[in-house]
Structure 1
Amino acid sequence: MEPLLAYFGPEVQMPLASLLASVVGMLMIAGAAPARAARRLWERVGASSLRRGSRD
């Protein structure tokens, strides 16, 4: 099996850097509340999947 080597040139890096900067900027403006809400949602979904798995 041959290794997969890829070249990520500027046409790939620039849009990704812009997207990352936009997300970080929005989080900085909004504060930590959206991150906390996402974490709570993730924990709730994880807990419900654990409960569902124990019933099987």
Structure 2
Amino acid sequence: MTGTNVETVKCACEDCVCVVPTEKAVSRHGKAFCCDECAEGHPHHAGCDYAGCTCHG
């Protein structure tokens, strides 16, 4: 894979273990999150729905 530059970032949710490509990250308040639920601070205490991750805010 020459010429491919994929950058990833760890979700800014403290309990989340997800790493997402920067172009797919959800941006809130200057931080990158893996999904809207993490970005909103888990207002409904729902997880991020990624396999193996147990965050719920």
TM-score by length of 1: 0.25
Q: TM-score, normalised by structure 2?
A: 0.25
Higher share of residues assigned strand? 2
Higher RCO (Cα < 8 Å, 6 or more apart): 2
Higher percent of residues as helix: 1
Greater Rg over alpha carbons, structure:
1
